[in-house]
Amino acid sequence: MVQFSDIPVVRHVGYIEVNTAFQNDVSPLKVDLIYGTFKSEDGSNYILPVVKRAENMVVNDTLSHDYLSPAGIESFSKLACRLLLGDIENLWNDGKVFGIQSIGGTGALKIGAEFLAQHMNCTTVYYPDPSWEMHGSIFSFSGFQKKIQYRYMNRETIEIDFEGFCEDISNASVDSVVILHACGHNPSGLDLSKEQWRTVAEIMKERKLIPFFDIAYQGIASGDIEEDTWAVRHFHSEGIEFLCAQSFSKMFTIYNERVGNLMIVQKSGHNIESLKIHFERIIRSIYSSPPNHGARTILQILSNPKLYDEWSSSFKAIAARIIELRKALRKALEEEVAFKKWNHITDQKGMFIFLNLTDSQVEYLRNFHHIYMINCGRVNVSGLNFTNISYVAKAINDTLR
């Protein structure tokens, strides 16, 4: 019989390891560029004021601790799907679009992966190289036997390798699932052009692949919540069936409330009730039903025109601040490290700057300069501020010399 003490020793890798080291570092110089969360100029965590107000309304007016149904609050999911596709009234009524409230974007990916493995006999998932670190493990924990990373970024030029991307998905077998970052690609900050999205949609249709969008940065990439859904809307207009995992963590600065939605778009809606039951069974067997507070807060904002306007217009300021910080870091690096090109810092979009450092360079920054980022040199832009940018640029110079 296996004893607990027989279990092989492992250690944290990735975010958790880096974050633990950051928390244990007592240096006053330390800089946190790890997680994709918004920070104010003084480095403290930022919460959108409209979210605080909506939370108070929920607590005062509507808070109930009854169980939600496994699929969560339907009116929340409907408004979440509307954020992605615009007017969905008829599609929703016909069962061609539906949503399932999830535990963050991670939960949406997880229940989607379980559904694809159990009911669509999918065994292969394609996801970009590089990608958000959890994509591979979510799908292998759900029984996918093959995880294949398609070429996405050329590491020499820090540009999209579009030819490689198309070649790799053109070779995928029928019914492979392909994860697509809808906007603000994590970690590269490189998004496809509309023309490139059109080509990808064509290939996916022709090869009979199953698109699984992941959207965690809607509004944050371009500053406009509609513009950032262009790819999702294009696939819909092409009549393609797909899934889309939505994370509300960053869009509402509500990370630990764990709010997300899984949107399913299908050609015919005749079997909608039974599809929902399949999802509910999956959810019952993992966590039974989702939490209430965060989703109610978001529902409050999405269903109240005044709060909605305030929330949706906040992305302009967020995107503008990100652009300002990108420009400042590029300028500081061009001054400090003139032998390298830094244009990619302002060419990339969204929350992350991809510095393309080696693991040992990232470790050096951590050990000698108390600057913390995940391997590959992915920087959370909003962890930078006008006090620490010059320190970070000097440390990068020291590291690259």
Q: Which residues are catalytic?
A: 132, 214, 250
Q: How many residues bind ligand PLP (CB under 6 A)?
A: 12
Between 293-302 and 49-57, two packed helices, what is the crossing angle to 10 degrees?
A: 110
CB of 213 to ligand PLP, least distance (A): 10
Q: Which residues contact 104 (CB under 8 A, 6 or more apart)?
A: 247, 248, 249, 258, 259, 260
Q: Which is nearer to ligand PLP, 229 or 247 (CB)?
A: 247
The one segment of 98-106, 232-240, 284-292, 388-396 that binds ligand PLP by CB under 6 A: 98-106
Closest distance to ligand PLP from the beta carbon of 368 (Å): 27
Dihedral over Cα of 118, 233, 166, 129: its sign: negative
Nearer to ligand PLP, 181 or 330 (CB): 181
The residue of the chain with the least Cβ separation from ligand PLP equals 104
Cα–Cα dist 215/235, whole Å: 14
Query: What's the min distance (Å) between Cβ of 37 and ligand PLP?
Result: 9
Contact 376, 357 (CB under 8 A): yes
Residues numbered 154-183 forming contacts with ligand PLP, rule: CB under 6 A = 181
Of 130, 211, 260, 383, the residue at the interface with ligand PLP (CB under 6 A) is 260
The residues near 121 (Cβ < 8 Å, ≥ 6 apart) are 175
| Binding residues for ligand PLP restricted to 234-253, rule: CB under 6 A | 247, 249
- Min CB(127)–ligand PLP separation in Å: 10
Structure tokens at 112: 């989607």
DSSP state of 120: S
Q: Both ends of the chain: CA-CA distance in Å?
A: 54
Residue 153 interacting with ligand PLP (CB under 6 A):
no
Determine, following the binding rule CB under 6 A, whether residue 84 of this chain makes contact with ligand PLP. no
Of 354, 344, 325, 327, the closest CA to residue 186 belongs to 354
Residue 36 touching ligand PLP (CB under 6 A): yes
- Closer residue to ligand PLP, CB minimum distance, 184 or 393: 184
Nearer to ligand PLP, 121 or 256 (CB): 256
Q: Residue with structure tokens 């999205």? A: 197
Between residue 172 and residue 231, which ones bind ligand PLP under the rule CB under 6 A? 181, 186, 214, 216
Q: CB within 8 A of 151, min separation 6: which ones?
A: 129, 161, 164, 165, 167, 168
CB of 17 vs ligand PLP, minimal distance in Å: 16
Query: Measured between alpha carbons, how far is 324 from 153 in angstroms, rounded to an integer?
Result: 24
Q: Find tokens 């799907």 and name the residue.
A: 81
Binding residues for ligand PLP, rule: CB under 6 A, are 36, 104-106, 132, 181, 186, 214, 216, 247, 249, 260
